[in-house]
């Protein structure tokens, strides 16, 4: 199974937060918990990671890391770049230019973190976005 996490890194996520808790604890913590829920390995689940705001930042591709501990290390060191929220741009770029059409895409954006009712967008196929 191929799973791509697409994380909102817009400035409004951390506005007024000197410690950036929405990013460091909630966004990255939620992403780590998602990774823990899959059997990440060369033979089973592959994880890809993208950050988006005005621009799209490919953190790593599906087959770069096949050990969960390495993915957790990358998540712990991940900075937020800020900018405006552009979900369509982040998702469109990811599907069009980077990843296989059979991947499952999970979009985590600031709305779910602010309301504390985190229900990320789960897109099982490219057809759901077109």
Domains of the chain: 2-128 (3.40.50.410)
Q: Whole-angstrom Cα distance, residue 80 to residue 78?
A: 7
pLDDT of residue 110: 63
pLDDT of residue 95: 73
pLDDT of residue 10: 84
pLDDT of residue 123: 45
Q: Kindly tell me the burial class for residue 55, based on how many C-beta atoms sit within 10 Å of its own C-beta (0-12, 13-18, 19 or more).
A: middle
Token pair listed for 100: 């296989």
Q: Whole-angstrom Cα distance, residue 101 to residue 130?
A: 12
Q: Whole-angstrom Cα distance, residue 86 to residue 54?
A: 6
Sign of CA dihedral 84, 107, 16, 78: negative
- Enumerate residue ranges in the chain where pLDDT < 70: 97-101, 109-130
């Amino acid at each position: 199974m191929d799973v791509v996490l697409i994380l909102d890194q817009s400035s409004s996520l951390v506005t007024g937060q000197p410690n950036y808790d929405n990013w460091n604890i909630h966004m990255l913590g939620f992403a780590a918990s998602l990774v823990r829920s899959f059997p990440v390995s060369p033979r089973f689940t592959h994880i890809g990671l993208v950050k988006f705001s005005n621009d799209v930042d490919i953190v790593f591709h599906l087959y770069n890391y096949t050990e969960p501990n390495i993915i957790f290390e990358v998540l712990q060191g991940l900075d937020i770049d800020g900018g405006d929220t552009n979900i369509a741009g982040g998702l469109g770029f990811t599907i069009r230019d980077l990843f296989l059409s059979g991947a499952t895409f999970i979009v985590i954006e600031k709305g779910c973190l602010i309301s504390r009712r985190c229900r990320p967008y789960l897109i099982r196929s490219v057809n759901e976005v077109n």
